[in-house]
């Protein structure tokens, strides 16, 4: 394989070749950097490309491996990280004008862990302003490799675009309401939201502390498992991380799913929540799961129908608290929709927040109770395939302020559960469709096993976008 084709290797394949010294980390890194230089003008996936730092890290990895000091499957692997994570000596904008020139003096814990694993950070990817909603992308919208006129999904859209365009071997995103799984489904990728507390958030710009999670956006489930294993673990700087050993999630993929109990959430399959093409693709996926020996049944979880609305209050109030100083001093530097959201969150009464938390508790309990009968729950990741990029998207009514009702990811954020999105088909317009698989808190390995079993039964993950 020539250097021109290195990018076509999965992370797992690339790691094997690096370990065997069939290709060097420097060669791999240069190949990806050259692709970024020549192609990213189409996708706008990167805010900052850290060429100097990447080549230095690749050189160090190459020396270590040559000396027999191989650290594991992330050693020498080039990846991209969302510009929400502190990176020492490299600007970290949060996708905002306010932090346009901010350069942290330390790394986020996940960045430190990646460096400890020997990974090579190519650069920082595009995101919505401070990873909030509103469609505000201060550095321009990332473009979907499957159709350049379509969105990638937020807020980790740059990581989705970069991974789908083969500009990195894997990437990191952050997921508060679906910001890993949404870009994954619209870009034809695997996106894993880990169990809350499994991965440190230290050095990650805060959205909603009880919902924020960091996880991988990758081209295969195996690649996501390798990436998650590298970044997971307890961190004294994040007191909410779990004091439990980190399994090798790659090994958790082994074995079949015969006898596994799968609950298809009925409310997420209704016409007002999911279009016909997406529904059909998900139903075909359930047939595949059944053919592999899983037991699939419909389950009714009524409150999940309202997950977008139930999550809206904390998604307004907590960012408003986090940004209170800048709201007073630099309100004009925020995009229009985020100004509206932050001001709204600043004046919402305590009673509204209290009620929202009570309703969240009820939904969470409904979801957790379902796991008494089922090993995993499944839904479409999004009820629609990728939507058009639109200029000057602004809130003009109470209806469009509520948010995206067809996004089914927030169920598991509210439940503090892990969830993964895996490709399960394409729309008639050639746009990817994703299957979402959720599990009990701590059941990351189980949902990855289901996703991997399904993935290996299809060729969806082998298809390439036309614009690469």
What is the tens place of the pLDDT at every residue in 374-390? 999 999 999 999 999 98
pLDDT score for 396 = 63
Q: Could you give the CA distance from residue 175 to residue 179 in angstroms, rounded to a whole number?
A: 4
pLDDT score for 136 = 86
The band of 355, judged by pLDDT with boundaries at 50, 70 and 90, is very high
Which of 179, 195, 382, 453 is the catalytic position? 179
For the chain, state the CA radius of gyration.
21
The band of 134, judged by pLDDT with boundaries at 50, 70 and 90, is low
What integer is the mean pLDDT of 232-257?
Answer: 96
Which of 50, 155, 218, 421 is the catalytic position? 155
pLDDT score for 287 = 98
Q: Could you give the CA distance from residue 38 to residue 314 in angstroms, rounded to a whole number?
A: 41
Q: Could you give the CA distance from residue 303 to residue 301 in angstroms, rounded to a whole number?
A: 6
Residue 223 has pLDDT above 70, yes or no: yes
Residue 62 CB burial class (10 angstroms; 0-12, 13-18, ≥19): buried
What integer is the mean pLDDT of 92-101?
Answer: 97
What integer is the mean pLDDT of 105-127?
Answer: 98
179 has catalytic annotation? yes
pLDDT score for 327 = 97
Report pLDDT digits (tens) over 311-353. 999 999 999 999 999 999 999 999 999 999 999 999 999 999 9
Q: Could you give the CA distance from residue 7 to residue 10 in angstroms, rounded to a whole number?
A: 8
397 has catalytic annotation? no
Residue 72 CB burial class (10 angstroms; 0-12, 13-18, ≥19): middle
Domains annotated on the chain, with CATH: 3-253 (3.90.1300.10), 261-448 (3.90.1300.10)
User: Which residue in the block uniquely carries the two structure tokens 């709204």?
Assistant: 344
What integer is the mean pLDDT of 224-244?
Answer: 97
pLDDT score for 342 = 96
82 has catalytic annotation? yes
Residue 286 has pLDDT above 90, yes or no: yes
User: Which residue in the block uniquely carries the two structure tokens 């894997």?
Assistant: 170
Average pLDDT, the chain: 95
Q: Could you give the CA distance from residue 93 to residue 374 in angstroms, rounded to a whole number?
A: 42
Q: In this predicted structure, which of 86-95, 181-190, 231-240, 397-406 has the lowest mean pLDDT?
A: 397-406
User: Which residue in the block uniquely carries the two structure tokens 């790659």?
Assistant: 250
Which of 50, 82, 384, 453 is the catalytic position? 82
Residue 400 has pLDDT above 70, yes or no: no
Residue 69 has pLDDT above 70, yes or no: yes
CA distances from 186 to 102, 147, 156, 158, 189 (A): 30, 10, 12, 12, 8
Residue 290 has pLDDT above 60, yes or no: yes
Residue 4 has pLDDT above 90, yes or no: no
């Amino acid at each position: 394989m020539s250097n021109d084709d290195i990018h076509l290797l999965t992370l797992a394949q690339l790691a094997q070749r690096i370990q065997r010294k069939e290709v060097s980390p420097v060669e791999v890194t240069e190949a990806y950097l050259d692709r970024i230089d020549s192609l990213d003008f189409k996708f706008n996936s990167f805010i900052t490309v850290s060429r100097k730092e990447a080549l230095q890290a690749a050189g160090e990895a190459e020396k270590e491996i040559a000396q027999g000091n191989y650290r594991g499957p992330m050693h020498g692997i080039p990846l991209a990280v969302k510009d929400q994570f502190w990176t020492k000596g490299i600007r970290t904008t949060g996708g905002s004008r306010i932090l346009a020139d901010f350069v942290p003096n330390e790394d986020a814990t996940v960045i430190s862990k990646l460096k400890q694993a020997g990974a090579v950070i190519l650069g920082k990817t595009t995101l919505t302003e401070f990873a909030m909603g509103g469609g505000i992308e201060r550095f321009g919208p990332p473009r979907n490799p499957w159709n350049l006129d379509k969105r990638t999904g937020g807020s980790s859209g740059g990581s989705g675009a970069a991974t789908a365009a083969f500009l990195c071997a894997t990437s990191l995103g952050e997921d508060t309401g679906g910001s890993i799984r949404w870009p994954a489904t619209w870009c034809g990728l695997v996106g894993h939201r880990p169990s809350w507390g499994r991965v440190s958030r230290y050095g990650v710009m805060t959205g909603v502390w009880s919902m924020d999670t960091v996880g991988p956006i990758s081209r295969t489930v195996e690649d996501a498992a390798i990436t998650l294993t590298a970044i997971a673990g307890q961190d004294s700087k994040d007191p909410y991380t779990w004091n439990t050993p980190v399994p090798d999630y790659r090994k958790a993929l082994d074995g079949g799913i015969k006898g596994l109990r799968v609950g298809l959430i009925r409310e997420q399959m209704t016409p007002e929540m999911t279009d016909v093409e997406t529904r059909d693709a998900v139903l075909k996926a359930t047939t595949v799961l059944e053919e592999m020996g899983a037991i699939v049944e419909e389950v009714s979880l009524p409150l999940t129908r309202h997950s977008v609305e139930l999550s809206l209050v904390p998604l307004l109030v907590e960012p408003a608290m986090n940004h209170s100083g800048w709201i007073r001093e630099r309100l004009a530097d925020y995009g229009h929709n985020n100004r509206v959201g932050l001001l709204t969150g600043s004046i919402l009464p305590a009673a509204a927040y209290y009620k929202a938390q009570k309703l969240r508790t009820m939904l969470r309990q409904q979801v957790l109770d379902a796991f008494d009968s089922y090993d995993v729950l499944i839904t479409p990741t999004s009820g629609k395939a990728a939507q058009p990029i639109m200029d000057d998207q602004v809130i003009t009514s109470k209806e469009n302020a509520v948010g995206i009702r067809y996004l089914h990811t927030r169920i598991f954020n509210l439940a503090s559960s892990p969830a993964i999105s895996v490709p399960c088909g394409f729309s008639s317009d050639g746009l990817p469709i994703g299957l979402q698989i959720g599990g009990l808190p701590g059941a990351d390995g189980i949902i990855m096993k289901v996703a991997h079993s399904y993935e290996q039964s299809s060729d969806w993950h082998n298809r390439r976008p036309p614009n690469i």
